[in-house]
Amino acid sequence: MAQTETPTTRIGVAIDIPEPWGELLTRRRAEAGDPQAAYTPAHVTLLGPTEVSTASLPAIEKHLEEVASAQEPFTVHLRGTGTFRPITEVVFVTLAAGISECELLAAAIADAEGVERDSRFPYHPHVTVAQDVSAAALDAVFDDLAEFEARFDVPAFTLFSHDLSAPGDRPWQRRRDYPLGTP
């Protein structure tokens, strides 16, 4: 008797970077040659790409509603650049404010039943602006965005999904927004 696989979906939860900054950071990532720029707009990750049982999505969505309702809207202040080098070849824009709110949201989101977060690295809220590119490209983005600064309100976070059954690379699809502080 053949064993059937449980259908799965790849999900992620993130805070969108509003315009004009979102487009600017996504464009700068593309200019660095980062292949993910075409599929992943600028964002602060709350739950990185995670494969879950498709059947568990309704429970995960309910959990996300509860997490969002418990968190009031807050302000994020992006300022300057950082890097994870030499551990990983990543350059990012740093958060100067909104860090603790992102950490609390990330921890609460990861508590959803059926979600197993990749814990190889501790959670560190940031906006990736270069990854999987040459050292020279990483250095250029690091320098170019060193003076970058933006402040914006965070009224919601978003659940994204990625169809694992579709061939080829595809952009993440916005599945649902979760307004903060809404019962």
82: how many CB neighbours lie within 10 A of its CB? 15
Q: How confident is the model at residue 164 (pLDDT cuts 50, 70, 90)?
A: low
Residue 81 counted as domain residue = yes
The whole-number pLDDT of residue 172 equals 81
- Residues 100-114, mean pLDDT to the nearest whole number: 92
pLDDT above 70 covers a percentage of the chain that reads 92
Residue 131 counted as domain residue = yes
Question: How many structural domains does the chain have?
Answer: 1
Please give the Cα distance from 84 to 64 (Å, whole number). Answer: 29
Residue 4 counted as domain residue = no
Q: How confident is the model at residue 116 (pLDDT cuts 50, 70, 90)?
A: confident
**Which pTM value belongs to this model?**
0.90
What beta strand segments (E) does 4-143 contain? 8-16, 43-53, 74-83, 90-97, 126-131
Is residue 40 scored above 60 in pLDDT? yes
Residue 99 counted as domain residue = yes
Q: How big is the chain, counted in residues?
A: 183
More confident residue, 71 or 170: 71
Using DSSP, state whether 69 is helix, strand or coil. helix
The whole-number pLDDT of residue 3 equals 52
Residue 3 counted as domain residue = no
Residue 1 counted as domain residue = no
CATH of the domain at 59: 3.90.1140.10
How does the average pLDDT of the chain come out, rounded?
Answer: 91
57: how many CB neighbours lie within 10 A of its CB? 16
**CA-wise closest residue to 181 among 160, 155, 159:** 155
Domain residues for the domain of 43 are 9-179
Residue 85 counted as domain residue = yes
Strand order in the sheet with 126-131: 126-131, 90-97, 74-83, 149-154
DSSP class of 5: P
Rounded to 10 degrees, what is the CA torsion of 79, 80, 84, 86? -170
Which of left, alpha, beta for 168 (phi over 0: left; psi -120 to 50: alpha)? left
Residue 49 counted as domain residue = yes
Among 56-70, 87-101, 111-125, the least confident range:
111-125
pLDDT above 90 covers a percentage of the chain that reads 70
- Residues 151-157, mean pLDDT to the nearest whole number: 98
- Residues 50-72, mean pLDDT to the nearest whole number: 94
